[in-house]
Structure 1
């Protein structure tokens, strides 16, 4: 008989141990970003993770039937919250993205990322296989993605809108929608991109794109963020300057060292080695998520699992590309390391969903895949 209780032994420690390591490392970086203090970043980071990890463990208990039944109602509720943001949302940094609930400040657009994946997985799981090649497999899904995207763009929040689009597109692609629709969409996007740039983006968003193309053109203005980020990452060298010895963050040269540019803060102090460790841990977590999807016994679980993996991947890829100057600055935090409650909530919903599907897989009969 094992001395480890069965509920503990059943947890996916191949993912949880790397995740706990990453969160602890993130707390150390946030400790340094605050000048060697647990407050205000590191302590709240750890507390939030603990609370949301408890939420994720509770999520593992949900049965498949309940989750599938709740998909559309949850989508509708979050859509109403996005509409409420437009009506009574709180302002911050020139954007209207939050709802003040008293005990917390909620950003509904963050919750929409996993919820749109859930709703699309339900849609394709219940769609007759013979309809997957026609327009009826695409138009409803496109509407389900386009409506929240439009509401989020009105806030304005380009990064979150793109994240919603990415997660939704991955689910649509994996559902088996013909490639011709994606080709048509790509051509349409190429035509619409210049129009969106000149007529759809705010002036500061246009500056982000032009700064990405030529950050040295205005190094003390619009290019300041990315220039200082590159300096911080480059100055770390192979092994870094040492814990709590980062000059870029401590001397306030690096903007947002605890949120969007936390990787640059880490790289300055821990160097290339620290960067490889962080990326390696992310790869372990994503690999586990893909494994959960591959073992899933039905279309609903497979699509939902891969959509959650895609959502986490989008955060990671865009943030790392952004801080290294390979993508425009769009305000995407780094999962499990950046300080921020809404992004931690979103990513832990994704982790909780994957843990839930992992339990479904473990309890499912091994009689072959259905549908």
Structure 2
């Protein structure tokens, strides 16, 4: 379509099929394309406009359905939040040779449309799906004559494979070692002891348990509230210092006058709030003694922990001394949520809780 010039795709946002001829002529004249390229250029522009229309229709349908109950028998697509990519079943072979590969796609395909079905006959079509129900996801479109179901493979290399090169023999002959898994995930976390491939099968499906991460109400109506999975900085107003961490100094408070929300912050001051609970892991942060959270240092990936009367960091996030609670500075009416940029107390959880404070900057407390 571009005569082999490797040109960038033209912007067709807001265009309609009625303007294809004009757009093709202008594009060909601008880039000095041969007349023989025109039929291919028009065809390519039609495909781009159709893709843009479908994307807008999908977004409109998403907004229409957002916040409504998910029902058994309804169709859905699984969108990976961090990357914005869609889970879809591929025509390629999975690592298990009898199954189909599952991958994430930027645009998504008709093989990304899944039907939610109950794992057992205790639920019927049209009933609402509850958080924690056992379900199975089945493709609406038939691939190779079958509706395929999402399936966890039998690959599960254990920790004994760490450091051992090569692969172990299974029915596919391609079982990855733990080192291969950690390398592909670009991490060396000891918390990961194995992994299993997600693929699609025409045989027995794997029952999955969808868990509510956060309410759609929290996404739009309470944007001003602090939520788990938010990235924050902790500023001690008394000593005018940020809670920071470096491998050399460990956790400490560093003096700074950069208190404006628009002021540039150092990356060593950034922490991620993680909820202890799996259900509602992205819900609003609760200022309560019963709501426990972990604080993950963004740069090092380590977790803040109480070590006696001081603060330290660790990779062992499951330890009880990695849990903290929040308390509001002033008791306002309403629930126990808190707004961003508000005053709070930070306290370690457990039988003998202690407040996180700083007697002076750079003290490790």
Query: Normalised by the shorter chain, which TM-score bucket?
Result: under 0.3
Q: TM-score, normalised by structure 1?
A: 0.23
Larger helix percent? 1
Larger strand percent? 2
Which has the higher relative contact order, 1 or 2, with Cα contacts under 8 A spaced 6 or more apart? 1
Q: TM-score, normalised by structure 2?
A: 0.23
Q: Which has the larger radius of gyration?
A: 2
